[in-house]
Amino acid sequence: MISDLLKGSGLTVAVASDGVEALEHILKSCPDVVVLDIVMPRMNGYEVCRRLKADPKTQNVPVVMCSSKGEEFDRYW
């Protein structure tokens, strides 16, 4: 899992169970980088990313999107 790799590298990692929880945590803590899965319950990764980029507080936080989805559209979103 990605979180285990990041923790193993000495980074502090927070994990959320869904998109709403992720967004709430990100807005409270303003992390250095965000890693999102596209497919999450309650709010997908695309919507979390849209909201982060629309908020002046988080618009410059780098976002890495991860997914097992294989559609061409998902690669260039």
Per-residue pLDDT tens, the chain, 77 aa: give them.
899 999 999 999 999 999 999 999 999 999 999 999 999 999 999 999 999 999 999 999 999 999 876 666 655 55
Please give the tally of structural domains in the chain.
Answer: 1
For residue 67, the model assigns a pLDDT of 81
The DSSP secondary structure of 36-75, one letter per residue, reads EESS-SSS-HHHHHHHHHHSTTTTTS-EEEE-----HHHH
CATH label of the domain that carries residue 14: 3.40.50.2300
Q: Which domain holds residue 15?
A: 2-67
For residue 36, the model assigns a pLDDT of 96
CA dihedral (74, 32, 52, 22) in degrees, to 10, reads: 80
Residue 47 lies in a domain: yes
For residue 77, the model assigns a pLDDT of 55
Residue 75 lies in a domain: no
